[in-house]
């Protein structure tokens, strides 16, 4: 079975040859650490960071391929399954509150209310949303889909 057939079989609860090893993307700091440890080349880490922040990352970009092959991933999930369903225009990134410990509560470009902690490299904690009901949808979100 090829990769596509394996994934299809898995998603339909059918027999498959092997479970694919996939990447969901990498944090900049993780790439830098892997490069410093010799697992990947620093040039590939830097090029990867430059090419993934485009509307549709290029799965065949040399750095993307080099990292995927070096780490023995079958494919990058993020590069294949990214629907074009973003808000336009996005919400302005807005600082809502600064906590005593330095944590910041912000409204992100998708309208989520998140807490970012200083020095923490991770996905911010979602603590709320601008989308609180039909009225908020019609006022804040619907115009961004026109």
Neighbour-count burial of 81, counting CB atoms closer than 10 A to its CB (0-12 exposed, 13-18 middle, 19+ buried): exposed
Q: Are 89 and 146 spatial neighbours (Cβ–Cβ below 8 Å)?
A: no
Same domain, 98 and 36: no
- Classify residue 88: in a domain, yes or no: no
Same domain, 71 and 11: yes
* 52-103 residue pLDDT tens: 655 445 667 788 889 988 998 887 766 555 556 678 888 999 999 999 999 9
- Classify residue 42: in a domain, yes or no: yes
- Classify residue 86: in a domain, yes or no: no
| Beta carbons within 10 angstroms of residue 70's beta carbon | 13
Same domain, 72 and 106: no
- Classify residue 87: in a domain, yes or no: no
Tell me which of 80, 112, 130 is where a domain ends: 80
pTM for this entry: 0.58
Counted domains in the chain: 2
* 107-130 residue pLDDT tens: 998 999 999 998 887 788 999 999
Tell me which of 80, 107, 133 is where a domain ends: 80
HSE (side-chain half, CA atoms, 13 Å) at 38 = 0
Same domain, 68 and 104: no
Phi, psi dihedral angles at 125 (to 5 degrees): -75, 125
Same domain, 72 and 121: no
* Residue-wise DSSP of 18-80: -PPPEE----HHHHHHHHHTTSS-HHHHHHHHHHHTSSS--TTSHHHHHHHHHTT-SEEHHHH
Same domain, 18 and 48: yes
- Classify residue 52: in a domain, yes or no: yes
| Domain that includes residue 140, residue range | 94-145
- Classify residue 89: in a domain, yes or no: no
């Amino acid at each position: 079975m090829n990769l596509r057939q394996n994934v299809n079989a898995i998603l339909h609860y059918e027999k498959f040859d092997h479970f694919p090893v996939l990447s969901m993307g990498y944090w900049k700091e993780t790439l830098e650490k892997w490069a410093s440890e010799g697992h990947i080349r620093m040039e590939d880490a830097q090029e990867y960071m430059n090419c993934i922040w485009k509307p549709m990352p290029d799965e065949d970009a040399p750095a993307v391929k080099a990292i995927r092959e070096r780490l023995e991933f079958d494919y990058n999930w993020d590069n294949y399954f990214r629907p074009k369903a973003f808000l336009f225009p996005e919400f302005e990134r807005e600082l809502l509150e600064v906590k005593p410990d330095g944590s910041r509560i912000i409204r992100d470009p998708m309208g989520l209310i998140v807490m970012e902690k200083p020095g923490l490299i991770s996905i911010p904690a979602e603590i709320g949303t601008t989308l609180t009901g039909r009225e908020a949808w019609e006022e804040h979100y619907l115009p961004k889909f026109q």
